[in-house]
A = this chain, B = another copy of it.
Amino acid sequence: MEIDLSRPILARNDQLASRNRERLEAAGVFALDVLASPGAGKTTTILATAALLRDRYRIAVIEGDIASKVDAEKVKAHGIPAVQINTGGACHLEADMISRALDALPLADLDLVIVENVGNLVCPTEFDLGQGARIVILSVPEGDDKPLKYPQIFALADAIVLNKYDTMHVFDFDEAAFRDAVRHLNGGAPIFPISAKTGEGVEAWVAWLSERVDSARDGGLQT
């Protein structure tokens, strides 16, 4: 006999995610779920994003990791409030973890919550967290073929950030092939080439995000 427990688990997660979403919308807070491989530059991208937006919005970060507080410490060192979730082995964040992290944040005094998911291009795909948007960060060193190998996560992204763009000359990354592969999976998601390290391209990405934060703050519908 086989019991498929994935359906009830996902159904329960979806319920909790809806509750998170209602709570965020009521508070006028936009939540961004950041998905990527280990080492694609999630934390650096979040810091570069916050650096451009912190005068305009009140920002907090939720850090998801199997273990360690490395990332939350890094974020706090920049004066941005951060909550660390250690999943203790689990390969993705779930809505109930976010719910508890939101309890620890002063939602009424925030405009933007950035959630850094566990470094993983597979497991987070099925778990709605209640976010306003999900982005996938791919870094140039990982190679242009990743959308072919991890199609689900590229298919569900609201935007794609192509990070470490400043190292393009060091790697054999075929940007046209990458864009083609993404287009086949996801016609709607814009692609933002950036270097979180040098700041190149970050403004265009931040403009996209700001539109959504403004819309959440105004109580508008999120798309």
Contacts and interface: CB of A to CB of B under 8 A. Distances in A.
Interface residues of A, number: 35
- Interface of chain A: mostly helix, strand, loop or mixed: loop
Interface in A47-105: 65-68, 70-71, 89, 91
A47 to B, nearest CB: 14
A215 interface: no
B5 A39 contact: no
Going nearest first, the 6 A-B pairs with the smallest beta carbon separation are A39-B142, A141-B141, A91-B122, A68-B148, A37-B38, A37-B37
Question: Which residue of A3, A71, A141, A145 has the most chain B CB atoms within 10 A of its CB atom?
Answer: A141
B121 A121 contact: no
Q: How many copies does the complex hold?
A: 2
A11 interface: no
Interface of A: 3, 5, 37-40, 65-68, 70-71, 89, 91, 118-123, 139, 141-143, 145-146, 148-152, 164, 167, 170-171
